[in-house]
A and B are shown apart, each in its own frame.
Chain A
Amino acid sequence: EPEVTQTPSHQVTQMGQEVILRCVPISNHLYFYWYRQILGQKVEFLVSFYNNEISEKSEIFDDQFSVERPDGSNFTLKIRSTKLEDSAMYFCASSRGSYNSPLHFGNGTRLTVT
Chain B
Amino acid sequence: KQEVTQIPAALSVPEGENLVLNCSFTDSAIYNLQWFRQDPGKGLTSLLLIQSSQREQTSGRLNASLDKSSGRSTLYIAASQPGDSATYLCAVIANTGNQFYFGTGTSLTVIP
Q: Is the CB of A100 within 8 A of B51?
A: yes
Q: Which of A58-114 contact B (CB under 8 A)?
A: 58, 91, 93, 98-108
Q: Enumerate chain B residues within 8 angstroms of A102, measured Cβ to Cβ.
A: 34, 46, 49
> In the assembly, what is the distance between CA of A10 and CA of B50, in Å?
33
Q: Is the CB of B99 within 8 A of A106?
A: no
Q: Enumerate chain B residues within 8 angstroms of A48, measured Cβ to Cβ.
A: 98-99
| Interface assignment of A14: CB less than 8 Å from any CB of chain B | no
> In the assembly, what is the distance between CA of A33 and CA of B101, in Å?
13
| Interface assignment of A56: CB less than 8 Å from any CB of chain B | yes
Interface of B is mostly: strand
Q: In which size bucket is the chain A interface?
A: 20 to 34
| Interface assignment of B83: CB less than 8 Å from any CB of chain A | no
- Residues of B in contact with A (beta carbons under 8 Å apart): 4, 31-32, 34, 36, 41-46, 49, 51, 89, 91, 93, 95, 97-104
- Other A-B pairs, 8, CB within 8 Å; known A91-B43, A99-B95: A6-B43, A42-B4, A43-B89, A56-B99, A91-B44, A101-B49, A102-B34, A108-B43
- Residues of A in contact with B (beta carbons under 8 Å apart): 4, 6, 31, 33, 35, 41-45, 48, 55-56, 58, 91, 93, 98-108
